[in-house]
A = this chain, B = another copy of it.
């Protein structure tokens, strides 16, 4: 059979990025030190606990764990999440405010499907999470800038008024690791309420607090503004990927009831439902507060790794980069002091030196920012991380003396 031209792929795929797949491939090379991915420490995945939870879930649910949905997910798990929200906020969240997803990532996809038509605008942090840009690419949006330090800049209210939603990661943002102060969150929430747009609060790193406290979520602040059923503009995404393990693929969206209904229609169009089996496993663990308990074991390990990365970087990279020590999360964001440094170009040399990071261009909705890089500190041991930093120094020196 001769190979003939076939009907073309959809237009958005011509703008697609393959960098996530590249990172995953790099992760498989044994002599590479990858500071690139956003992966948890695999040795901390609680395999034996999950084995016991799976066993208990099948005993409790039997064949019901093997059914199709409901589209919105296992009712008892939605209820358990609503209970936690009620306990945390004192507000009247119910099962009707919760939809279960295949990781928080699917929540991003569903919100895009539910709100965005081609050419409409989304307001996002610059730099912003690569996976969010991926999720919304098939909807062909345009991006406008959220700068937490310039909420009062002229025109921003009009920008919000035009936007379908604002995307924010207030806790230990990916890629920058920044914890947004409560006063800025409140100011943004006021503007969102005044403009009539939605606010998508993505909160995967909440459990990874190394020092200090995050304070209330923007969801909680929105809920606190009225009694009765939740009617706020905040759509909140949570996940067990960071506090237990990503392989369960259990995440959730919390929103007012009409938004949940639309997200459910979008989910029905996407996969009918996520696995009820893994949701039943997650329920078993959440009812025991295992995720909270396990996060308390993860945090000191990650704190030590963050400290190892920052200490080694102070010795080997401070001449060319500056950074803030993140109070939580998984990443250090390094900004080049030296204007000669283009992190896209540095990346090529770093790969030759067998170390990987993520260049800032992929986090820029415009694809232009080449001044920074994201380093992950959760996946490798302190020794491996330090070796990665030393290789980065070699790469920078080679880069500057090309």
Give the B-binding residues of A (Cβ under 8 A): 1, 3-7, 9-11, 13, 16, 18, 20-21, 24, 39, 42-43, 45, 47, 50-51, 54-55, 58, 62-71, 101-103, 105-106, 109, 113-118, 131, 134-135, 137-139, 163-165, 193, 196-198, 225-226, 231-233, 241, 245-249, 262, 264-266, 268-278
Contacts and interface: CB of A to CB of B under 8 A. Distances in A.
Nearest to A62: B47
Contacts of A71: 20-21, 24
A239 to B, nearest CB: 11
20 contacts: A1-B225, A6-B233, A7-B163, A7-B164, A10-B116, A10-B117, A24-B68, A42-B66, A51-B58, A67-B246, A68-B246, A103-B272, A118-B118, A135-B270, A137-B269, A138-B269, A247-B275, A247-B276, A248-B277, A249-B273
For the complex of A and B, 9 pairs with smallest distance between CB atoms: A66-B247, A66-B245, A1-B226, A102-B271, A45-B66, A45-B63, A106-B271, A249-B275, A1-B225
A105 B66 contact: no
A97 to B, nearest CB: 15
Interface centre among A24, A58, A116 (most CB of B within 10 A): A24
Given A7-B115, A115-B7, A273-B249, A134 B63 contact: no
Nearest to A70: B24
Contact of A10 (B50, B115, B226, B232): B115
Contacts of A50: 58, 66, 277
A51 B58 CA distance: 7
Nearest to A279: B247
A1 B247 contact: no
B20 A248 contact: no
Nearest to A3: B231
Given A21-B264, A24-B69, A115-B9, A248 B272 contact: no
Contacts of A271: 101-103, 105-106, 109, 249
A45 B113 CA distance: 33
B113 A272 contact: no
| Copies assembled | 2
Contact of A102 (B10, B198, B274): B274
Given A1-B193, A105-B270, 9 more contacts: A7-B164, A7-B196, A21-B265, A42-B66, A66-B246, A101-B271, A134-B269, A138-B266, A249-B275
A34 to B, nearest CB: 13
B55 A51 contact: yes
Contact of A248 (B45, B66, B106): B66
A197 B6 contact: yes
A113 B198 CA distance: 25
A292 B169 CA distance: 46
A114 to B, nearest CB: 6
A320 to B, nearest CB: 31
A102 B268 CA distance: 12
B272 A275 contact: no
Nearest to A194: B4
Nearest to A101: B271
A65 to B, nearest CB: 6
Contacts of A138: 113, 266, 269
Contacts of A131: 272
A114 B4 contact: no
A54 B247 CA distance: 13
Nearest to A275: B249
Nearest to A225: B1
Contact of A270 (B106, B272, B275): B106
Nearest to A64: B42
A87 B316 CA distance: 55
A264 B64 CA distance: 31
Contacts of A20: 71, 268, 272
